[in-house]
Amino acid sequence: MPQMQPMNWLTIFIMLNFALIYMTPLMFFTLNPSSMSMPLLSNTRSNQKPFIQLKW
């Protein structure tokens, strides 16, 4: 690929998805790691926390 093509909407969409997937747990941990957990995974906050820490 010698010539750089301008990015179409698909690559921008994929890059934004990767940035959101990787940056949201970091933002949750840096803001308040003790009380805040992932809102999609937190059924019981104390039981879901080791699962999130195992992923990272």
| 3 in a structural domain | no
SS (H, E, C) 4-50: CCCCCHHHHHHHHHHHHHHHHHHHHHHHCCCCCCCCCCCCCHHHHHH
CA 22 to chain centre: 3
Q: How many domains does the chain have?
A: 1
Does residue 1 lie in a domain region? no
Q: What is the pLDDT of residue 39?
A: 54
Task: Determine, yes or no, domain membership for 16.
Answer: yes
pLDDT digits (tens, 9 = 90+) for 15-43: 888 888 887 777 666 665 555 455 545 44
pLDDT recorded at residue 12: 87
Structural domain containing residue 28: 9-55
- Looking at residue 56, the DSSP 8-state letter turns out to be -
Whether residue 5 has pLDDT greater than 80: no
Please report whether residue 48 resides in a domain.
yes
